[in-house]
């Protein structure tokens, strides 16, 4: 049995949860308030971050390394294509969302509005929120451009790149930070991914003090 230390709205944790669920790997979810830095938690992970996957008595941090590990140990269904170029493209896009999108959008919207309150670490910075609201438009347009040429973000098949993107967007959607009317192609892609069984646990998340909008869990949003 696997155990995942996580927080519900973390896009990095959601990416791992989606990967586990898509591969039908049973997992026990344990919420970890990592910002409180308990010594028990720091022992599990000196980087003091979530997610951490507990496997056979080992604690594995680092979401992308975890997903590649799950892909290698549970190859069915595959979430990476066969060709080196195809695999490159998946990794490039995972990097795009977990690095660039995270810095420009997620950290400026989700972290300012929700994490700061939960972690009791100050008030939202309206300048950063404005930057994030502007930046997400560019990213939605970029995704739409990719999806004009491809069925999924990295090509013909569903991959880790789609889960990385959906993890960020679903967390932002919990606070209505995604304008689904901006790009029909992105909305169609999200509707497709949202209706997968792997997405159910994410749509059922509840964060005390924050009620998601009705469209959050609605498959016909």
Give the footprint of a copy of itself on this chain (CB under 8 A): 46-47, 58, 60-62, 64-66, 68-69, 72-73, 84-85, 87-88, 91-92, 94-96, 100, 142
Q: How far is the CB of 63 from a copy of itself (least distance, A)?
A: 8
Q: What radius of gyration do the chain's Cα atoms show?
A: 17
Nearer to a copy of itself by Cβ, of 98 and 173: the residue is: 98
Nearer to a copy of itself by Cβ, of 14 and 194: the residue is: 14
- DSSP state, residue 213: P
Nearer to a copy of itself by Cβ, of 13 and 205: the residue is: 13
Strand boundaries in the chain, DSSP class E: 2-6, 27-31, 52-55, 58-61
Nearer to a copy of itself by Cβ, of 12 and 174: the residue is: 12
Q: How far is the CB of 66 from a copy of itself (least distance, A)?
A: 8
Token pair, residue 84, equals 């080196």
Separate counts of helices (H) and strands (E) for the chain? 10, 4
Nearer to a copy of itself by Cβ, of 87 and 116: the residue is: 87
Q: How far is the CB of 73 from a copy of itself (least distance, A)?
A: 5
Distance CA 45, CA 42 (A): 5
114-132 as b/e: b if 16+ CB within 10 A: bbeebeeeeebeeeeeebb
Separation of CA 98 from chain center: 8
Q: How far is the CB of 72 from a copy of itself (least distance, A)?
A: 4
Q: 37 by DSSP, 3-state: which?
A: coil
Nearer to a copy of itself by Cβ, of 95 and 212: the residue is: 95
Q: How far is the CB of 61 from a copy of itself (least distance, A)?
A: 7
| 152 strand-pairing partners | 155
Q: How far is the CB of 91 from a copy of itself (least distance, A)?
A: 4
168 neighbors 84 (Cβ within 8 angstroms): no
Residues 6+ apart with CB under 8 A from 124: 112, 113, 116
């Amino acid at each position: 049995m696997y155990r995942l230390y996580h927080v519900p709205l973390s896009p990095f944790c959601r990416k791992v949860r989606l990967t586990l669920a898509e591969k039908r790997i049973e997992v026990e979810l344990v919420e970890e308030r990592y910002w409180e830095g308990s010594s028990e938690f720091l022992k599990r992970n000196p980087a003091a971050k979530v997610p951490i996957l507990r496997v056979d008595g080992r604690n594995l941090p680092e979401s992308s390394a975890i997903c590649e590990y799950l892909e290698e140990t549970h190859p069915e269904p595959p979430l990476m294509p066969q060709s080196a170029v195809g695999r490159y493209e998946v990794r490039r896009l995972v990097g795009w969302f977990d690095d660039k999108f995270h810095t420009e959008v997620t950290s400026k919207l989700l972290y300012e509005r929700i994490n700061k309150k939960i972690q009791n670490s100050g008030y939202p910075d309206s300048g950063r929120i404005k930057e994030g609201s502007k930046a997400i438009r560019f990213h939605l347009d970029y995704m739409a451009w990719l999806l004009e040429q491809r069925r999924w973000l990295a090509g013909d098949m569903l991959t880790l790149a789609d889960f990385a993107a959906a993890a960020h967007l679903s967390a932002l959607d919990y606070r209505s930070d995604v304008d689904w009317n901006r790009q029909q192609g992105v909305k169609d892609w999200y509707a497709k991914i949202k209706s997968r069984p792997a997405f159910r646990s994410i749509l059922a998340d509840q964060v005390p003090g924050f009620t998601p909008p009705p469209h959050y869990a609605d498959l016909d949003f």
